[in-house]
């Protein structure tokens, strides 16, 4: 009896608290979102502030849910950072030339450093299958839709026979032990440094299109 009374008591308290915090949250959301939007707007250059303060105010009124509106306002803070640097410097903070020179120096240094490893992997791949190629070349789209061949180490596969429930044998392709190791350690991506050196890829950038 005492136990169930206690349970009812705590149940009531929890319900009240939930209600209280729920109401409280609802009351505070407009305040929070306004604060966030103001922070976002203030990061933009003077000339753009009026436009986006109205545009975002109108967009946020179409976003459903209190939570969604907070996420939207936080997104605006993120967006304003990029938009401000875009408008101020014409590009992202790092200029193209500087980024390219970073790419070249880092990829050259890295290629020198990993050269022994590079050779080992090439020898191992040749040992695994003498006829097979060491590199795989896949067509990808890079910056501005430029096409290029992306290099990777070829991951060897082996046929594995699987016995099905009805006793039949089924062939299944599986990564070879070496292939699995390279894939697991991301070592098969090393030849992409050559793509970076050639200016087709960059060390920090969006995923190439056509990638999984």
Q: Distance between CA 31 and CA 33 in Å, rounded?
A: 6
Residue 81 or 157 with smaller CB distance to another protein? 81
Q: Distance between CA 95 and CA 110 in Å, rounded?
A: 22
- Provide DSSP, 77-133: HHHHHHHHHHHHHSS-SS-HHHHHHHHHHHHHHHHHHHHHHHHHHHHHHHHH-SSS-
Question: CB under 8 A: which stretch of 49-57, 127-135, 149-157, 196-204 binds another protein?
Answer: 49-57
Q: Does 148 bind another protein (CB under 8 A)?
A: no
Residue 11 or 68 with smaller CB distance to another protein? 68
Q: Distance between CA 208 and CA 144 in Å, rounded?
A: 11
Question: CB under 8 A: which stretch of 13-21, 66-74, 113-121, 125-133 binds another protein?
Answer: 66-74
Q: Distance between CA 175 and CA 159 in Å, rounded?
A: 9
Q: Distance between CA 41 and CA 77 in Å, rounded?
A: 8
Residue 164 or 204 with smaller CB distance to another protein? 204
Q: Does 91 bind another protein (CB under 8 A)?
A: yes
| Burial of 102 per CB tally in 10 Å (0-12, 13-18, 19+) | middle
Q: Which of the residues 172 through 191 are near another protein (CB under 8 A)?
A: none
Q: Distance between CA 151 and CA 181 in Å, rounded?
A: 18
Q: Which of the residues 5 through 24 are near another protein (CB under 8 A)?
A: none
Residue 41 or 125 with smaller CB distance to another protein? 41
Q: Distance between CA 89 and CA 94 in Å, rounded?
A: 9
Contact residue for another protein among 4, 27, 61, 131 (CB under 8 A): 61
Contact residue for another protein among 4, 144, 166, 168 (CB under 8 A): 144
Contact residue for another protein among 29, 39, 79, 111 (CB under 8 A): 79
Angle in degrees, CA 83, 57, 60, rounded to 5: 95
Q: Does 78 bind another protein (CB under 8 A)?
A: yes
Contact residue for another protein among 11, 30, 65, 210 (CB under 8 A): 210
Contact residue for another protein among 6, 45, 65, 75 (CB under 8 A): 75
Chain residues in the site for another protein (CB under 8 A): 51-52, 54-59, 61-63, 71-79, 82-83, 86-87, 90-91, 139-141, 143-145, 147, 206-207, 209-210
């Amino acid at each position: 009896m005492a136990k169930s009374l206690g349970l009812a008591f705590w149940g009531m308290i929890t319900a009240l608290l939930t209600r209280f915090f729920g109401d409280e949250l609802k009351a505070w959301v407009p305040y929070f979102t306004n604060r966030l939007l103001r922070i976002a707007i203030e990061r933009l250059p003077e000339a753009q502030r009026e436009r986006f303060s109205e545009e975002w105010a109108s967009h946020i009124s179409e976003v459903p849910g209190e939570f969604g509106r907070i996420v939207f306002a936080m997104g605006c803070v993120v967006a304003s950072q990029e938009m401000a640097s875009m408008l101020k410097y014409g590009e992202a903070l790092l200029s193209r030339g500087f980024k390219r020179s970073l790419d070249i120096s880092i990829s050259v240094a890295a290629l020198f450093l990993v050269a022994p490893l590079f050779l080992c992997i090439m020898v191992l791949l040749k040992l695994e299958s003498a006829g097979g190629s060491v590199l795989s070349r896949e067509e990808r789209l890079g910056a501005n839709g430029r096409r290029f061949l992306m290099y990777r180490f070829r991951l060897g596969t082996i046929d594995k026979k699987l016995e099905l429930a009805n006793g039949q044998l089924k062939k299944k392709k599986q990564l070879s032990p070496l292939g699995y190791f390279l894939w697991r350690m991301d070592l098969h991506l090393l030849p992409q440094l050559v793509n970076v050196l050639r200016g087709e890829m960059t060390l920090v950038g969006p995923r190439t299109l056509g990638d999984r």
